[in-house]
Structure 1
Amino acid sequence: MAALMILVAGPYRSGTGDDPAKIQANVDAMMDTALALFRAGHLPVLGEWYALPLIEHAGSEEIGDPIFDEIFHPIARRLVEKCDGVLRIGGPSAGADDMVATAEAHGKRVFRAIDEIPEAR
């Protein structure tokens, strides 16, 4: 199999009460998955890698403010359109489920576990 560009979609804020340590734990879980995908020969991406620097640059003052909402999910949706597929990880998350729905709407592959994705040659 050729290398795939795969968006890792998991909870960011869900279930955290916006506690920074819990949000970081969610990001760490996505990063662990991204590293495993990279080591399997694929190109992993997280919407957070694109959204968070722009959100900060645009002047967001807190998670969930209008600037955050303007950028966070919309940029991930655009990114999904460029990816070969989405890997859904973790627990409940409306945002991650939205990325899966976006992938399906664009005919992209959706993976529910990393072991569904063969190593790239």
Structure 2
Amino acid sequence: MLILIAGPYRSNTNDDLSLIAQNMHNMEDAALAVYRKGHTPICGEWIALPLIQTAGSTQLGDTIFNEIFHPVAVQLIDHCDAVLRIGGPSAGADEMMNQAKQKGKQTFWRLEELTER
């Protein structure tokens, strides 16, 4: 399965870059675990962040950032089989789970719910 990893990115960081980096590291750790279970992981940030930079964003949360960041992940759900929610509070990650349910995709709240392929 192609599985979108949904977790906090900016949530509860006060835009502290080291905390954001830790959140990204957590999503990438989850992606590796998904891969090792025989599935293909994807993080929306892997697509959104280069687009945001190329489009000329100058700071987190600016107009360009907001135009691309969450919409890319919502679009990715159409191509994924499932969404895995990780980490702590995050309105964006919760929205990814809601979108996945609305689109009839599988949702997982713990890595352990995924079966090995």
TM-score (norm 2): 0.99
Alignment of 1:16-35 (within 5 A): 16-35=13-32
How far apart in 2 are the matches of 1:110 and 1:68?
A: 26
Supply the distance in 2 between the matched residues of 1:102 and 1:91 (Cα, whole angstroms): 18
Q: Which residue of structure 2 aligns with residue 59 of structure 1?
A: 56
Give CA-to-partner distance per residue, 1:46-96, whole Å, 9 cap, x none: 000010000000000000000000000000000011100000000100000
- 2:71 aligned with 1:74, yes or no? yes
What do you get for the CA RMSD once the two structures are aligned? 0.4
How far did 1:99 drift? 0.3
- 1:82 alignment partner, SS class: coil
1:81-120 equivalences in 2 (<5 Å): 81-120=78-117
Say how many residue pairs are matched: 117
TM-score, normalising length: structure 1: 0.96
- The answer for unaligned runs of 5 or more in structure 2 is none
Q: Flag structure 1 segments of 5+ consecutive residues without an equivalent.
A: none
* Structure 2 Cα separation of the partners of residues 111 and 40 of structure 1: 14
Moved over 3 A (4+): none
Of the candidates 34, 38, 45, which is equivalent to residue 42 of structure 2? 45
1:91 aligns to what SS in structure 2? coil
Counterparts of 1:78 and 1:62, CA distance in 2: 23
Q: CA deviation at 1:111?
A: 0.1
